[in-house]
Amino acid sequence: MSSSEERAGDAASYVEPAVLEELLSMRSSIDNIDATLVYLLAERFKATQRVGVLKATHQLPPADPAREKNQIARLKRLAEDAQLDPEFAEKFLNFIIEEVIRHHQAISASAQTSVAETSVQNPAQNPDAGR
Ligand SMILES: O=C(O)C(=O)C[C@]1(C(=O)O)C=C[C@@H](O)C=C1
């Protein structure tokens, strides 16, 4: 199937040709925008993954509510300027942050497990082991 046929989807069977042409043109832009979103999210998660390791290594809590509050307020202002619904921007960011915090918690739990395993295998490295 060509990418044009894929983009036409169900509309191909019930939309007149001129309308279909415009729809396909808009869907081509949507494809590019969605691809960019995927790349942007991948880069964001790479950065937050590194933050997760840093936090686990230095015993910092997975969530930082003050940072979240400031970032959400900032993005709501940007959304307003860009004529994007600020409530939607807030929900979208909260959705992403929730996932990031889950990743941070998993990184922290696995770091604690490896510390515990190391101290069982080699109690001399952890004077508290076995107490
Ligand atoms: O900046 C951090 O400390 C992060 O862990 C990143 C992030 C975010 O995704 O923006 C996620 C969790 C925190 O509560 C705050 C912000």
Q: pLDDT tens digits, residue range 108-126?
A: 999 888 878 887 888 776 5
Ranges of each domain in the chain: 1-60, 61-131
**Whose CA is closest to atom 6 on ligand 1?**
48
Position in ligand 1 atom list of the atom nearest CA 68: 15
ipTM entry: 0.99
- C-alpha of residue 121 to centroid of ligand 1, in Å: 34
Q: Which residues of 46-75 are buried (b: 16+ CB within 10 A; e: fewer)?
A: eebeebbeebbeeeeebebeeeeeeebeeb
Residue pair 86/80 in contact by the 8 Å Cβ criterion: yes
- Check pocket membership of 100 for ligand 1, CB cut-off 6 A: yes
- C-alpha of residue 114 to centroid of ligand 1, in Å: 24
Q: Can you tell me which residue has the tokens 């790349």?
A: 39
Instruction: Select from 51, 75, 105 the residue to mutate for testing ligand 1; criterion: most ligand atoms less than 8 Å from CB.
Output: 51
61-131 in CATH: which number? 1.20.59.10
pLDDT, one tens digit per residue, over 35-71 is 999 999 999 999 999 999 999 999 999 999 999 999 9
Q: How many beta carbons lie within 10 A of that of residue 76, not counting itself?
A: 17
pTM value? Answer: 0.85
pLDDT, one tens digit per residue, over 67-105 is 999 999 999 999 999 999 999 999 999 999 999 999 999
d(CA 18, CA 24): 10
- C-alpha of residue 2 to centroid of ligand 1, in Å: 41
